[in-house]
Amino acid sequence: MKRVVVGLSGGVDSSVAAYLLKEQGYEVIGLFMRNWNDASVTLEDECPWIEDSADALLTAEKLNIPFQVIDMSASYKERIVDYMFAEYEQGRTPNPDVLCNREIKFDLFLKTALELGADYVATGHYARKNSFIDKNGKEIFQLLKGVDNNKDQSYFLCQLSQEQLSKALFPIGNLEKSEVRRIAKNLDLVTADKKDSQGLCFIGKVSLPEFLQQQLRPKKGKIIEIPKSSSIYQKEEKHFPTIEKKLENQAAAISYKKTDGEVVGEHQGAHFFTRGQRKGLGVGGKAEPLFVLATDVQENIIYTGQGHDHPGLLKDALFIQTDEIHWIREDMALKEGESLEVQARIRYRQPLQRATLNQTKNGLFVAFDTPQSAITEGQFCAWYIEDELVGSGVIHH
């Protein structure tokens, strides 16, 4: 019997994952990861991790599998939380869920599982894994989208390596969410009707802005509105000597100045805001809603524009620095000068977009067939070929 350690989160997905593995004849051990223990930042009196670990324990008892809680909060703080704050302070927007999978679930957690003699770790992600043997006799692992299109979570796994994938199992990846709930109901699991957890993968019920505001100092600054008709957006039809120069031009971030627009309000800190954000600006009386076009954390200014079709939100291409490019399928990595047609997304749940990857000496350009809204520095762009996620990278600009 192969031994599998399942990350039981206290939710329905991981509960059913554990059950299915048991049915498939694996020896299953349930582990609950405690990633956070700073009571000062949980909302109200709720202590979500206590409730969740209790639900995980009840699930393990019901399935008759051994269970234990492991405390990863120190590593979590260092690898995820501190990194997130550093990114926010520099005006970038990290994705804690992607990082949590790369740094915690499939690194520290995986190492813990292997120490317990496990052959695999399993999670309740809606994703699938496949493998084939290449011409050199080497097994190549593939990360595939979950069958339930509404729930596909392959994006959150976009930073996994071949080594990590080789040890991963995603038991519910070929099920629809409704089917997962049905299995849990039939088993009379305590998690059957539990709502899906929202918010961060570590602070339970705390929303990110509130968490940030407790950690980063507020400082007043100006909100400036840039008109759609601004001359900044009048790009001349230039002839570029190389495709790389053209892509550089398309991916370049616009640098705004105070004099480009008018002051329409005040904010409590540019680092609390992110490109494309609409809520929380507190500026009324406009014909169309205001969106954040850019933040300048040095000058503490937020640049905004009216309407989701504002030219300041739209861009044809993005750039990923060489050291931030990650190929799950290392055998498909592009060499300098090579290009590849893919489908890409720049955020979770965004429908896949047709795009072309262009590998240059300094990094990778992703050029989209249609302009994309609110391409955000620090977020991940992931690219697919059909159902397979083949690579990803941190958006530089």
Residue with tokens 């240059």: 360
Cα distances (Å, whole numbers) of residue 135 to 132, 157, 331, 333: 10, 27, 12, 17
Report strand pairing: 301-306 vs 221-225.
parallel
What's the sign of the alpha-carbon dihedral 361, 366, 371, 374?
A: negative
By CB neighbour count within 10 A (0-12 exposed, 13-18 middle, 19+ buried), where does 219 fall?
exposed
Residue 385 CA to residue 382 CA, distance in Å, equals 11
- Has 201 been annotated as catalytic? yes
**12-23 and 48-63 are packed helices; what angle lies between their axes, rounded to 10 degrees?**
20
Residue 262 CA to residue 281 CA, distance in Å, equals 15
Considering only CA atoms, which of 37, 6, 32 is closest in space to residue 20? 6
By CB neighbour count within 10 A (0-12 exposed, 13-18 middle, 19+ buried), where does 313 fall?
buried
Helix (H, G, I), strand (E, B) or coil at 233: helix
What are the backbone dihedrals phi and psi of residue 320, each rounded to the nearest 5 degrees, phi first? Answer: -125, 125
- Has 381 been annotated as catalytic? no
**82-89 and 208-215 are packed helices; what angle lies between their axes, rounded to 10 degrees?**
80
Q: Which residues contact 209 (CB under 8 A, 6 or more apart)?
A: 272, 280
The number of angstroms, rounded, from the C-alpha of 91 to the middle of its chain's C-alpha atoms is 17
Residue 51 CA to residue 38 CA, distance in Å, equals 15
> Which residue of the set 47, 100, 158, 381 is catalytic?
100
Q: Which residues contact 334 (CB under 8 A, 6 or more apart)?
A: 340, 357, 359, 364
> Which residue of the set 47, 158, 201, 381 is catalytic?
201
Cα distances (Å, whole numbers) of residue 29 to 54, 76, 108, 249, 371: 16, 22, 16, 52, 47
Q: Give catalytic residues, as residue numbers.
A: 100, 201
